[in-house]
Amino acid sequence: MNATASGGIPQKAGLVDAARVSNLSVSLSEGAVSVVGVAAAGGGNPSKDTQWSIKSMVGCDIFHGRWVKDESYPLYKAGSCPQIDESFNCYHNGRPDHAYQKLRWQPNGCIIPRLNGTDMLERLRGRRLVFVGDSLNRNMWESLVCILRNSIEDKSRVFEASGKHEFRTEGFYSFRFKDYNCSVEFFRSPFLVQEWEAPDSAGKKKETLRLDIIEKSSSRYKDADIIVFNTGHWWTHEKTSKGKDYYQEGNRVYGELKVIEAFHKALSTWARWVDTNVDPVRSLVFFRGYSASHFSGGRWNSGGQCHSETEPIKNETYLSSYPPKMSVLESVIKGMKTPVAYLNITRMTDYRKDGHPSVYRRHRFAAPERQAPDHFQDCSHWCLPGVPDSWNELLYAQLLLKLHQRRA
């Protein structure tokens, strides 16, 4: 069992290949102590305190903690990043409060470093970081693009390698950081397995989900240096939750299959693909867990709301129960031969009922439209700047933790 579900990157991940001096793990093993200090302090020489913060993360569950106010946040100025989708751009869409941008994740018992964009770009020099999953992973991808872009003085050196046209036709989006010869990419794959069409009893084609086939773009990212996967929210939609005449394996379309069983089958297909196709010497693999939603008074399509929320939950007794699907995910990861680092952000996001776009998902909505009780609100995705920036800080912290473990 080489996987981890509690925050540390497994020791085996990204082992140095002596024949490949440009391997990702070589860059992760250089300049460890000095970079830790710069990352945590925001510049200058490393201090004993910042070195201790990295050491303290060994054995620390960085996914359990609390949100604390920090006036030095956000990591990039609201309204400064043109790469943010309109649906995530709450500031541009007229959200009047800003306190949700000023919260930092603080784990219990240890400190995670502030994400230093310049340092992370140096680690990505000549490499690919790929996000694969649903629109919540797109949320995280856009966050990282903005954080890294903010560290570059000449913004014209950051450009779309593939843009909206490719995303519409192929579900692929990529930004390239020219000075570092690196790319940060997103592949849309809400289930990680292949959406399909199968003939029904009348000979007409109907949509199915092939639980036994990995999604079609997988060959394009299997050799990436860092891959961050996710799936989750689409498994709560009507077709998937009912599971009637929708799930398929081989030529068999299940008349009915429980969503938790289908989820397990799909993740097992993904796990087999990773174990067979991803080289753990070359690549680091992450899986980001389920991000909490906060619909009140209904679901996403039935009047659920969160527009009045401006403060996070502060009492953990009000948090939701742990999603059963994430227990399935943890079980699958533990059974893999490829090391997978689990970004368990479920609990930390559950506190943040204040961080969703809600009625501020479109700029063109007038105030009366926003307040209409039956108007669709987005209480699943997150405003940017906002919560996904902290997910990327956790990703960065795990990379630094791995660096420390190698030099210990």
Write out the DSSP string of 218-269: GGGTTT-SEEEE---GGGGSHHHHH-BS-EEETTEEPSB--HHHHHHHHHHH
- In this predicted model, what pLDDT tens digit does every residue of 34-74 receive, in sequence order? 333 333 333 333 334 445 567 778 889 999 999 999 999 99
pLDDT digits (tens, 9 = 90+) for 215-263: 999 999 999 999 999 999 999 888 888 889 999 999 999 999 999 999 9
In the three-class reduction of DSSP (H, G, I as helix; E, B as strand; rest coil), residue 23 is classed as coil
pLDDT band at 22 (very low <50, low <70, confident <90, very high): very low
- Beta carbons within 8 Å of 236's beta carbon, 6+ residues apart: none
Is 201 considered catalytic here?
no
Q: In Å, how far are 13, 141, 216, 269, 280 from 276, measured between CA atoms?
A: 15, 26, 16, 11, 10
Cβ neighbours of residue 284 under 8 Å, at least 6 residues apart? 9, 13, 14, 24, 225, 226, 227, 341, 399, 402
CA nearest to 325, candidates 394, 387, 397, 240: 240
Could you tell me which residue, 309 or 365, shows the higher pLDDT?
309
Average confidence score pLDDT of the chain: 85
- Work out the angle between the directed axes of helices 32-41 and 48-56 (0-180°, nearest 10): 100
Q: Which of 119, 350, 354, 378 is catalytic?
A: 378
How far separated are the first and last CA of the chain, in Å rounded? 22
> Quick one: what percent of the chain has pLDDT higher than 70?
79
Q: What is the architecture, at CATH level 2, of domain 85-97+125-386?
A: 3-Layer(aba) Sandwich (3.40)
Burial (CB < 10 A; 0-12, 13-18, 19+), residue 23, is: buried
Residue in 27, 53, 135, 380 annotated catalytic: 135
**Any idea what the Cα angle at residue 171 is, between residues 168 and 174, rounded to 5°?**
100
Lowest mean pLDDT, pick from 8-17, 163-172, 203-212: 8-17
Active site residue 245: no
Domain segments of the chain as ranges:
85-97+125-386
Examine the residue annotation and report whether 381 is marked as an active-site residue of this protein: yes
Torsion of CA 162, 167, 171, 174, to 10 degrees: 30
Mean pLDDT along residues 310-332: 95
Q: Taking the complete model, does pTM exceed 0.85, yes or no?
A: yes
- Among the options 218, 294, 381, 389, which is catalytic? 381
